[in-house]
Structure 1
Amino acid sequence: MPFAVYVLGLGIFAMTTSEFMVSGLMPSLAAEFAVSVAAIGYLISAFAAAMVVGGPVLAVGLLRMPRKRALLVLIGVFLVGQALGAIATGYAVMLVARVITGVASSAFFGVAIAVAVELVGPQRRGRASAVVLGGVMFGTVLGLPATTLVDQLYGWRASFWAVALATLVAGLVVFRVVPSGARPEGMSLRDELAALRNGRLWAAYATSGLLVGGVFAAFSYFSPIFIEVSGFSPAVVPVLLTAYGAATVVGNTVVGRFADRHATPILTFGLGALVVTLAGFALFAGSRPMTVVAVVVLGLVGVSMVPALGVRVMRVADGRPLVNTVHTSVISFGIGLGSWAGGLGISAGLSLTSPLWVGASFAVLGLVSLIAARSGAPERLPVSVG
């Protein structure tokens, strides 16, 4: 596997950390900007919403630009947004910063995967994509708790600058190791758009959005739940987030190994386990042992299902570039919708456990969408993802 593939994973690690770090900084950001916890949760929604719009639009807009140049431009835009967030003096400025970084992040995901595939060839594209997207998992297991810890030691602005530094390092290494002049060839926008006219593809998209939305309705409010409901001290929050991230990495590894041939059964089990775990967490959030168990299980059966979701999409649409970009946007939409919906209950005066019930409801709908799709025509044989 070329070293450049791992460098692209580093870039995604930094950008994923930026996306999720707000959940660990909620108390500090709420105090800084004198807004509610729910309002800070909407910053996650704003980032995800920007990814939803930015991904497909920029995927089309960057078709003619050499891949390396596109990567460097997107890293530059992301750095501007991240720096703006670090110096933000008000909620509105932070919101703008999140939109800028969200748009750049979404486009970077699509271009990075395209570059990785070009570097290794078609026989290893699945494996290369998995390495690049491994940055998402490590952004959860390392980046999120690290930025939370930096916030507690040096303040939230230091957390933003740390992510900017990691992104800058990734950009410098991309400049050094990614080959120049690689251009996308043989892509027809008409064919890409035609591939989206597939009802079964949108059914698969629906399952993806609902599953991820269910997870993030809960995950976005982990920190206040841990502190104010479960009774953990703020110093323990990074440890709990690390446990969640580690469970996500383990779950992703297991799911990735078996997703090629068992994607639908894995998704059925994962969604069912998600419903039970979120409901149980909501009922027993006041118990510290139950909270720890719930956090670990959510890591195992939450976003770790993404490899199976990806295989399912490729089965019905041959893994075309725009199809995968839209899939990323759908997942981002699920993140934003889940974070927003989770905050509605809190804004309405309900308890901090209300996002857990919202997440369980999303998971139920995801399970329904999956079962309904299984009752239709059988899926095609799996496409290898490495």
Structure 2
Amino acid sequence: MPLAIYVLSLAIFCMTTSEFMVAGMMNTLAGEFGVSVSQVGYLITAFSAGMVVGGPLLTAALLNMPRKKAFIMLTGLFLAGQLLGAIAGSYEVMMASRIIAGVASSAAFGVSISISASLVEENQRGRAVSIIFGGLMIATVLGTPAATWVADAYGWRFSFWAVAILVLLSGVTALRLIPVLSRPEPTSLRHEMKSFRNRKLWAAYLTSFLIIGATFAAFSYFAPIFTELTGFSTSAVPLLFVVYGAATVAGNLITGRLADRYTMLILTIGLVLLTFGLLTFAIGVHTAAVVIPAVIIIGLAGVPMNPPMVARVIRTGGSGLMVNTVHTAIVTFGVVVGSSVGGLAISAGYGLVAPIWVGVVLALVGVISLLPYMRGIFKVKVVDMDIKH
């Protein structure tokens, strides 16, 4: 893999750390700005909304810009948002910084995938994407907890500055290591939108949405489920998150290697395993010996489906900026919907186990979304057997 792809992964690590770091300092920020904890929660929502809505709009303006230049510009915009958060003196300024960072992050994801597709052979794109998304996973396992620890030890502003410095480092390194790519063919938004007439592309988007929605419906409420339903101590929760994170990294390494050659097979196996893991978790939520293996399965078969998801989208709709940025927006929307519906289920009185069942339903619908593919494989096998006979 070209070294430039690891630079892209570093940038994604920084941006993902920034996205979730607010969750670890909610009480501190609430006291700093004189608002409620729920209002601080809206800062996370604002970041996600910026990714879902603003990212594709910004990408549309960058269609004819050289990919390297677009990435550097987006890194600079994200850095501006992060620095604005570091010096924010009011809740409103912090909200603005989160929106700016979210918009830049979404577009940067799309540009990163497009660059990686240009740097490697077609049969290596899944592996390249797995490295980029490895930055995302390491951010959730190490980056966000580290940012929280730094905020507790040295103050929340120090944590924001630390991430800003890493973003600057990744931008400068990208400027040196990402080769100058050929300028994209002149295009228009209308031409780019033709890709979205492909129903198979929307089928791929739907499966991605359901996989991530199912995963985050449960993951968003892991901590209270572990302590209040399974009976783990509060001190054991970080260790359980490390186990889950290690499973996602391991799963990403596996799917990254296989995504190009066995794209649909990996997605099918992954969705079946995810459904099984969530169902086992829901049924055995009060038994630690059941919960731990279930969490490992969810870690292996949830977020690590990103490489085959992206490989399927590129194979179906191409490696254009809009196609990949919209995919990033849809995946982010899956995070929002999964966690929100899980929260609504709890608020409706169905208990802490309800988000896991929401995940089960979404994963089952995901399996159903792949039935046309599985039916096609079955027909191919039947035809092959008939030819042999």
Name the % identity: 51
Corresponding residue SS for 2:262: helix
- Supply the distance in 1 between the matched residues of 2:350 and 2:250 (Cα, whole angstroms): 34
The aligned counterpart of 1:136 is 136
Q: What TM-score, normalized to structure 1?
A: 0.83
For the 8 Å contact 2:47–2:102, the answer to whether it is kept is: yes
Q: Could you report, residue by residue, the CA deviation over 1:290-319 in whole angstroms, capped at 9, with x for unpaired residues?
A: 433332221101011112222332343344
- Supply the distance in 2 between the matched residues of 1:369 and 1:139 (Cα, whole angstroms): 30
The one-letter code matched in structure 1 to 2:56 is P
Q: Could you report, residue by residue, the CA deviation over 1:200-256 in whole angstroms, capped at 9, with x for unpaired residues?
A: 221121111011011112222233333444444554433322222211111112122
For the 8 Å contact 1:64–1:184, the answer to whether it is kept is: yes
The aligned counterpart of 1:225 is 225
- Supply the distance in 2 between the matched residues of 1:378 and 1:196 (Cα, whole angstroms): 28
- Supply the distance in 2 between the matched residues of 1:254 and 1:307 (Cα, whole angstroms): 10
More moved, 146-155 vs 2-11:
146-155
Moved over 6 A (4+): 30-33, 376-380
The aligned counterpart of 2:242 is 242
Q: CA deviation at 1:94?
A: 4.5
Q: What TM-score, normalized to structure 2?
A: 0.83
More moved, 92-101 vs 102-111:
92-101
- Supply the distance in 2 between the matched residues of 1:85 and 1:350 (Cα, whole angstroms): 37
The aligned counterpart of 1:361 is 361
The aligned counterpart of 1:383 is none
Corresponding residue SS for 1:196: helix
For the 8 Å contact 1:7–1:173, the answer to whether it is kept is: yes
- Provide the aligned length of Structure 1 versus Structure 2: 379
- Supply the distance in 2 between the matched residues of 1:331 and 1:157 (Cα, whole angstroms): 29
Corresponding residue SS for 2:260: helix
Q: Could you report, residue by residue, the CA deviation over 1:102-153 in whole angstroms, capped at 9, with x for unpaired residues?
A: 1110111122233344455767555444433332222233223323443454
The one-letter code matched in structure 1 to 2:355 is P
- Supply the distance in 2 between the matched residues of 1:185 and 1:98 (Cα, whole angstroms): 33
- Supply the distance in 2 between the matched residues of 1:164 and 1:349 (Cα, whole angstroms): 41
For the 8 Å contact 2:64–2:187, the answer to whether it is kept is: no
The one-letter code matched in structure 2 to 1:80 is A
- Supply the distance in 1 between the matched residues of 2:282 and 2:92 (Cα, whole angstroms): 32
* 1:188-267 alignment, distance < 5 Å: 189-267=189-267
The one-letter code matched in structure 2 to 1:253 is L
- Supply the distance in 2 between the matched residues of 1:241 and 1:27 (Cα, whole angstroms): 21
Q: 1:293 to 1:146 in 2, by over 3 A?
A: farther
Q: 1:311 to 1:27 in 2, by over 3 A?
A: same
For the 8 Å contact 1:41–1:343, the answer to whether it is kept is: no
Q: 1:346 to 1:255 in 2, by over 3 A?
A: same
Q: CA deviation at 1:197?
A: 0.2
- Supply the distance in 2 between the matched residues of 1:140 and 1:278 (Cα, whole angstroms): 20
- Contiguous gaps of at least 5 residues in structure 2: 381-389
The aligned counterpart of 1:305 is 305
Please state if 1:184 is matched with 2:184: yes
* 1:153-192 alignment, distance < 5 Å: 153-154=153-154, 156-179=156-179, 183-185=183-185, 187=187, 189-192=189-192
